Amino acid sequence: MAFTTTSPLNTSATNDDPRPRFGIGHMSFPATNVDELVDFYTTIGMRLVVNMGRAAILELRGGTHLILQESSQANGTLDVIVDDIDETRDLLEAAGADPGSIRRGNPHDSFVATDPQGNTLMVHSNHAIGPV
């Protein structure tokens, strides 16, 4: 059975707001050394909200919070978008990450990097289709 509708679905909080209704509020991410990852992620452009020692909160574009939590091993994957993928790859390399080569494609260009504790960063060029 096919889904049909006679009017557009209300995907935003109000009819005057073109943004999608949902955003990601918080994501947890493992850190074997919270202070080391706070230094790394603030160096590459995330905003520190608070560092509580065993956990820290960093802010990304759009208000998403990345919660670094003390862990016995780093095994996280973070998938992010950026406006300038070439500049970001250079920045990550200079900050001590281990970025791979950029794969050019559709709908975006991308590369994979590893942060100083072994977590995986999947970096993609921005391909948003409207205000976010």
pLDDT band at 130 (very low <50, low <70, confident <90, very high): confident
Taking the CA of residue 126 as centre, how many other CA atoms within 13 Å lie in the half-sphere pointing to its CB?
Answer: 10
- Sheet architecture: strand order including 77-82: 77-82, 120-125, 110-114
Q: Where are the domains of the chain?
A: 26-125
Find how far residue 79's CA is from the centre of its chain.
Answer: 5
Distance CA 93, CA 44 (A): 10
Q: Is the pLDDT of residue 5 over 90?
A: no
Query: Which contiguous run of DSSP H or E holds residue 86?
Result: helix 85-94
Percent of the chain with pLDDT over 90: 70
Distance CA 79, CA 7 (A): 34
**Measured CA angle at 82 (ends 81, 85), to 5 deg:** 115
What type of residue is 7? Answer: S
User: In this predicted structure, what is the pLDDT of residue 2?
Assistant: 52
User: In this predicted structure, what is the pLDDT of residue 16?
Assistant: 82
Task: Give the tens place of pLDDT for each residue, 8-52.
Answer: 555 555 668 887 888 889 999 999 999 999 999 999 999 999 999
For residue 118 the two structure tokens come to 């072994």
Q: Is the pLDDT of residue 6 over 70?
A: no
The pLDDT mean for the chain works out to 88
26-125 belongs to which CATH class? alpha beta
Number of C-beta neighbours around residue 41 at 10 A: 24
